[in-house]
């Protein structure tokens, strides 16, 4: 009889208000880049999975052109006009986002910075509640130290970025430069950008002009992919390490062309950002910062994550 009473109490216990209104909860995930960048398929999936588990509506938005802050601000402003339950957004510039972040705070809309934040992390200027992502500066330092410890860096080294001016990538570059500055290496920087030449052609031209190039560091998959194709095509030895994981990056590791990649585990970024927003909205909890890095993927653990990469989880 006692067990029956407990079961009856569970069956008749009133649903909490948030459970009754979950369908009305509308969250936004606004990135500076979209699915054309293979990296973003992973955090988008994490965010979508979290929304499905919580039973809430999620809209994922990104400008048509990467790092178009004006368009990203338009998307942010439009989202705030719908009085959302919460917004996760990449904050890739220290000035451009300030006005709307302050507006969100005034409206009582919880905002979490995801994947990217300004290096100064000034939350008076940019009042987001929490940051979910990797410490890019620390990751840059860790990458450079690992390469030095492996005895792979000597002579001329180039750091290649695909989005010049992006706060997170600039922090990675700063961390790398700090460590390599006293190593005796000649450190150069190459900014790849869409133009008359393909990204493959731009890197190939740089390499031809510097036949003494000994190592290349890619700051993300949009640079890793063209670099990997050129190295594979030339068949010449060049030490190569990168940031982030994609199926093609995994293939480069498997083929011995890429030594390792630093994984910021972006699935967690998307998933935790949405889950923290739900907690902030429903229970008025103060979300904590979450550092999702640094994961190292090389030929010793590639097998454990390669299939997950194809599923856009790793």
Mean pLDDT for back-to-back runs of 10 residues, the chain (314 residues): 40 46 84 85 97 98 91 97 98 93 98 94 97 97 94 91 89 96 93 89 97 96 96 93 94 97 97 99 98 95 90 90
Contacts for 95 with CB less than 8 Å, ≥ 6 apart: 125
Residue 58: predicted pLDDT: 99
In the numeric block, the tokens 């008076």 are attached to 124
Tokens matching residue 209: 């002009």
**Domains identified in the chain and CATH numbers:** 20-134+265-292 (3.40.50.2300), 136-263 (3.40.50.2300)
Q: Give the number of residues written for the chain.
A: 314
CA angle 21, 27, 30 (to 5 degrees): 175
- In 22-68, which ranges are continuous DSSP H helix? 41-54
pLDDT of 33-91, one tens digit each?
Answer: 887 788 899 999 999 999 999 999 999 999 998 889 999 999 999 999 999 999 999 99
Buried b (16+ CB within 10 A) or exposed e, 255-293: eebbbbbbbbbbbbbbbbbbbbbbbbbbeeeebeebebb
- Global pTM reads 0.86
> Which residue, among 304, 263, 314, 232, has the nearest Cα to 43 in the 3D structure?
314
User: Is 292 in contact with 132 (CB distance < 8 Å)?
Assistant: yes
Give the max Cα distance, the chain. Answer: 85
φ/ψ of 112, rounded to 5, equals -120, 130
Residue 36: predicted pLDDT: 77
The DSSP bridge pattern shows strands 295-298 and 260-263 to be antiparallel
d(CA 165, CA 175): 15
Q: How many C-beta neighbours within 10 Å does residue 248 have?
A: 15
Residue 256 to residues 127, 147, 247, 259, Cα–Cα distance (Å): 44, 16, 14, 7
Tokens matching residue 247: 């199926």
d(CA 197, CA 194): 7
Helix (H, G, I), strand (E, B) or coil at 117: coil
The radius of gyration computed from the CA coordinates of the chain, to the nearest angstrom, equals 22
As a whole number of Å, the end-to-end CA separation of the chain is 49
User: Is 146 in contact with 179 (CB distance < 8 Å)?
Assistant: no
Element (H, E) at 95: none
Half-sphere exposure of residue 237, counting CA atoms within 13 Å on the CB side?
2
């Amino acid at each position: 009889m006692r067990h029956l009473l407990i079961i009856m109490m569970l069956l008749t216990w009133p649903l909490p208000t948030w459970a009754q209104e979950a369908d009305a909860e509308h969250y936004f995930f606004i990135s500076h880049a979209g699915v054309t960048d293979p990296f973003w398929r992973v955090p988008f999936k994490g965010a979508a999975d979290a929304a499905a588990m919580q039973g809430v509506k999620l809209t994922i938005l990104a400008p048509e052109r990467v790092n178009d802050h004006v368009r990203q601000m338009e998307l942010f402003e439009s989202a705030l006009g719908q009085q959302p339950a919460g917004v996760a957004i990449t904050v890739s510039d220290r000035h451009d986002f300030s006005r709307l972040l302050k507006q969100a705070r005034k409206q009582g809309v919880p905002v979490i910075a995801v994947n990217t934040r300004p290096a100064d992390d000034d939350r008076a200027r940019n009042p987001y509640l929490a940051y979910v992502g990797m410490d890019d500066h620390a990751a840059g330092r860790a990458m450079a130290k690992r390469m030095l410890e492996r005895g792979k860096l000597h002579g001329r080294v180039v750091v290649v970025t695909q989005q010049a001016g992006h706060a997170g990538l600039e922090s990675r570059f700063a961390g790398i430069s700090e460590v390599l500055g006293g190593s005796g290496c000649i450190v150069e920087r190459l900014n790849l950008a869409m133009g008359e030449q393909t990204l493959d052609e731009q890197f190939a031209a740089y390499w031809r002009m510097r036949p003494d190039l000994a190592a290349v560091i890619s700051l993300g998959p949009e640079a890793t992919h063209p670099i990997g194709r050129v190295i594979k095509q030339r068949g010449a030895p060049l030490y190569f390490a990168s940031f982030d994981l994609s199926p093609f990056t995994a293939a480069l590791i498997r083929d011995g062309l890429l030594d390792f990649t630093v994984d910021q585990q972006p699935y967690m970024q998307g998933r935790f950002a949405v889950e923290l927003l739900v907690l902030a909205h429903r229970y008025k909890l103060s979300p904590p910062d979450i550092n999702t890095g640094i994961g190292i993927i090389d030929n010793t653990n590639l097998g454990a994550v390669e299939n997950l990469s194809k599923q856009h989880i790793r």
